[in-house]
């Protein structure tokens, strides 16, 4: 039986999974992503340490399976964070994580030098310190001598591809997250490269996800046990790979990846025109250059739920039927289900770690509106779920307008998808269906299926998606609740407008 290997270089975990052609998971290994705390108290990555951990996991899986059953390997994972490779193929320095914002001053400089409108017109991105360009400017300032020694800059999934094959390649979805990629010409932007003191050869070649770039090198074969006949295939960004087994590739559904943060990804139909204006959504290319992706997100989604559980769900008002005894869904069904829509006229703004789409403002803070002396912990907890659902509606409504398409459903994966109480509220607030796909490791499976495409087991991404997309539950909206949520949503939008100015004053205070 042929098996296809996916590698996910994630912010929380490193994962390696082996799948059959129909998407069945046959073996999985994962380890916490190794993170170094520097003398400055900030987080760093050691790319070589990542590789050592991944080698160990591949070796374990290879020992478990028949030696020659793994026919391809592909990679996915976090974007933006880059490692420098010198002319001898060695890593130079530590990697600054994507979520690190110490390069904020260089984002300001980019705005001053080039302007936000120009950056969006070329890259489809807002000027934000998470992207690669301002990070590279920071690295150049911190150690210009080391910067000059770098031959090629690679994002982390690209680095693992290089270690597997010895080749420098990426796909369009990862290239789109660098702030160095021209989404109209589908190539590296010479002007932005020059601004960053780079040339085109300092970045990997760009091809479609699912393109075979070679085979496992003899050195890597010795380390991992993979055969030298095992194909190495270009993958893509983790959320983008997740669209394949989640069925969100047709311009009608949105991928809702629900974890600590919640990402919403819309994939256009083939050859659809790119949005011309920044609407609060980031624009990039898909795994293939004929489609584009719209990106939005709630930075503190699952984090807001966890915050509420820790602070609200073990109070005396819940009696003996505590969260610890009942678990997630049963607890919320028992204590929150009969509360009225709006939790007794409460609104929660889910910006505990700053606002994501469509604001992208790290200074905006979360808030409850409508507190009274009668407000209960249960009402506050329901307001959290309603606030998250309304923020998701704001993002998806903007996606619908920017794409000119009617979005009929959110295909929800990740840990949040298993909390059905939450998904019920989301369906009602959005007035759209919530589909919960069967894939529990969607990004990893998506990468593995790109590997299958690379060896001809599937002809296209559409074929791979059709074969692996299975729905285990669909949640429809309840029409009588929609009108009430429509009215509450109007107030929610106004509250967001107000909290921006207040948050600015609080931060300065």
Q: What is the DSSP string of 428-484?
A: HHHTSEEEEES-SSHHHHHHHHHHHHHTTSSSSHHHHHHHH--EEEEE---HHHHHH
Residue 161 to residue 75: CA distance in whole angstroms: 7
| Nearest to 175, CA basis, from 146, 206, 148 | 206
* The two structure tokens encoding residue 454: 């690379």
Residues 6+ apart with CB under 8 A from 367: 348, 349, 351, 495, 499, 502
Question: Which residues 6+ apart lie within 8 Å of 445 measured at CB?
Answer: 6, 17, 19, 23, 25, 244, 245, 439, 468
The span from the CA of 430 to the CA of 410, in Å, is 9
Is residue 258 within 8 Å of residue 301, measured between CB atoms? yes
Burial class from Cβ neighbours inside 10 Å (0-12, 13-18, 19+) for residue 73 reads buried
Q: What is the pLDDT of residues 15-52, one digit of tens each?
A: 999 999 999 999 999 999 999 988 888 889 999 999 99
Read off φ and ψ for residue 236, nearest 5 degrees.
180, -175
Half-sphere exposure of 75 (CA within 13 A, CB side): 28
pLDDT at 478: 65
d(CA 91, CA 49): 11
Please state, in angstroms and rounded to a whole number, the distance separating the CA atoms of residues 233 and 291. 20
Query: pLDDT tens, 95-104?
Result: 999 988 889 9
Tell me the two tokens of residue 8.
């996910």
Contacts of 415 (CB under 8 A, 6+ apart): 258, 259, 302
Helix axes 420-430, 479-508, angle to 10 degrees: 100
Specify whether the backbone of 396 is left (phi greater than 0), alpha (psi in -120 to 50) or beta. alpha
- DSSP annotation of 455 reads T
Cβ burial, residue 397 (10 Å; 0-12/13-18/19+): middle
Tokens of 194: 């020059």
Tokens 């009274």 found at: 372
Q: If 0-12 CB within 10 Å is exposed, 13-18 middle and 19+ buried, where does residue 276 land?
A: exposed
**Beta strands 205-206 and 169-170, pairing class:** parallel
**pLDDT for the residue numbered 503:** 87
Distance (Å, whole) CA 221 – CA 104: 41
Cα distance between residue 279 and residue 309, in whole Å: 33
Res 468: pLDDT: 96
Region label for 344, one of left (φ > 0), alpha (ψ between -120 and 50) or beta (otherwise): left
- Asked whether the beta carbons of 371 and 379 are under 8 A apart, the reply is no
Tens place of pLDDT per residue across the chain (509 aa): 899 999 999 988 999 999 999 999 999 999 999 999 888 888 899 999 999 999 999 999 999 987 679 999 999 999 999 999 999 999 998 999 998 888 999 999 999 999 999 999 999 999 999 999 999 999 999 888 999 999 999 999 999 999 999 999 999 999 999 999 999 999 999 999 999 999 999 999 999 999 999 999 999 999 999 999 999 999 999 999 999 999 999 899 999 998 888 999 999 999 999 999 999 999 999 999 999 999 999 999 999 999 998 888 877 777 777 777 777 788 888 888 889 999 889 999 999 988 988 988 888 899 999 999 999 999 999 999 999 999 999 999 999 999 999 999 999 998 888 899 999 999 999 999 999 999 889 999 999 999 999 999 999 999 999 999 999 999 987 665 667 899 999 999 999 988 888 888 888 88
Confirm if 123 and 189 have CB atoms less than 8 A apart: yes
pLDDT at 387: 97
Torsion region of 233: left, alpha or beta (phi above 0 gives left; psi -120 to 50 gives alpha): beta
Distance between CA atoms of residues 475 and 482, nearest Å: 14
Sort 300 into a burial class: Cβ within 10 Å, 0-12 / 13-18 / 19+. Answer: buried
From the number of C-beta atoms within 10 Å of its C-beta (0-12, 13-18, 19+), residue 39 rates as: exposed
Which of 239, 216, 90 lies closest to 161 in space, CA to CA? 216
**Token couple for 189:** 């932007």
Alpha-carbon gap, residue 88 to 69, rounded angstroms: 32
Instruction: Say how far apart CA 468 and CA 453 lie, in whole Å.
Output: 13
For the chain, list the domains and their CATH numbers: 3-240 (3.30.420.40), 246-299+403-475 (3.30.420.40), 302-394+479-508 (3.30.420.40)
Distance separating alpha carbons of residues 178 and 80, to the nearest angstrom: 6
448 SS3 class: helix
Whether 415 contacts 259, CB under 8 Å = yes
């Amino acid at each position: 039986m042929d098996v296809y290997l996916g590698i996910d270089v994630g912010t929380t975990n490193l994962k390696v999974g082996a799948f059959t052609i129909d998407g069945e998971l046959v073996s999985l290994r994962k380890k916490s992503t190794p993170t170094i705390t520097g003398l400055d108290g900030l987080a760093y990555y050691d790319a070589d340490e990542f590789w050592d951990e991944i080698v160990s996991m591949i070796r374990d899986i290879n020992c478990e399976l028949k030696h020659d059953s793994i026919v391809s390997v592909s990679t996915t994972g976090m974007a933006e964070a880059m490692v420098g490779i010198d002319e001898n193929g060695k890593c130079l320095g530590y990697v600054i994580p994507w979520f690190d914002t110490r390069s904020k001053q260089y984002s300001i400089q980019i705005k001053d030098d080039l302007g936000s409108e120009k950056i969006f017109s070329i890259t489809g991105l807002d000027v934000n310190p998470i992207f690669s360009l301002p990070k590279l400017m920071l690295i150049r300032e911190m150690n210009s001598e080391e910067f000059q020694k770098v031959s090629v800059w690679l994002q982390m999934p690209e680095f693992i591809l290089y270690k597997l094959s010895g080749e420098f390649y990426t796909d369009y979805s990862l290239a789109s997250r660098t702030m160095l990629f021209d989404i109209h010409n589908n190539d590296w932007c010479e002007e932005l490269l020059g601004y960053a003191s780079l040339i085109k050869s300092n970045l990997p070649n760009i091809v479609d996800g699912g393109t075979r770039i070679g085979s496992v090198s003899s050195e890597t074969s010795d380390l991992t046990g993979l055969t030298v006949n095992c194909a190495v295939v270009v993958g893509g960004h983790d959320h983008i790979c997740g669209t394949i087994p989640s069925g969100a590739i047709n311009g009608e559904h949105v991928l809702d990846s629900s974890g600590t943060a919640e990402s919403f990804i819309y994939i256009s139909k083939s050859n659809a025109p790119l949005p011309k204006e920044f609407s609060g959504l980031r624009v990039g290319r898909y795994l293939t250059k004929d489609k584009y992706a719209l990106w939005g997100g709630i930075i503190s989604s699952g984090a807001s739920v966890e915050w509420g559980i820790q602070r609200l769900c073990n109070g005396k008002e819940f009696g003996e039927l505590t969260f610890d005894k009942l678990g997630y869904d049963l607890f919320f069904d028992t204590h929150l289900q009969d509360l009225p829509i709006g939790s007794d006229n409460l609104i929660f703004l889910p910006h505990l770690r700053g606002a994501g789409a469509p604001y992208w403002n790290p200074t905006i803070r979360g808030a409850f509106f409508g507190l009274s002396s009668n407000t209960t912990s249960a009402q506050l907890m329901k307001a959290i779920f309603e606030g998250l659902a309304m923020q998701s509606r704001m993002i998806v409504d903007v996606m619908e307008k920017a794409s000119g398409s009617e979005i009929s459903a959110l295909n929800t994966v990740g840990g949040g998808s298993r909390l059905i109480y939450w998904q019920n509220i989301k369906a009602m607030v959005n007035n759209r269906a919530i589909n919960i796909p069967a894939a529990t490791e969607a990004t990893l499976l998506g990468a593995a299926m790109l590997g299958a495409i690379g060896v001809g087991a599937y002809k296209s991404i559409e074929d791979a998606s059709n074969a692996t997309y299975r729905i285990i539950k669909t949640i429809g909206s309840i029409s009588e609740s929609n009108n009430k949520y429509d009215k509450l949503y109007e107030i929610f939008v106004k509250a967001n407008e107000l909290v921006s100015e207040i948050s600015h004053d609080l931060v300065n205070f």
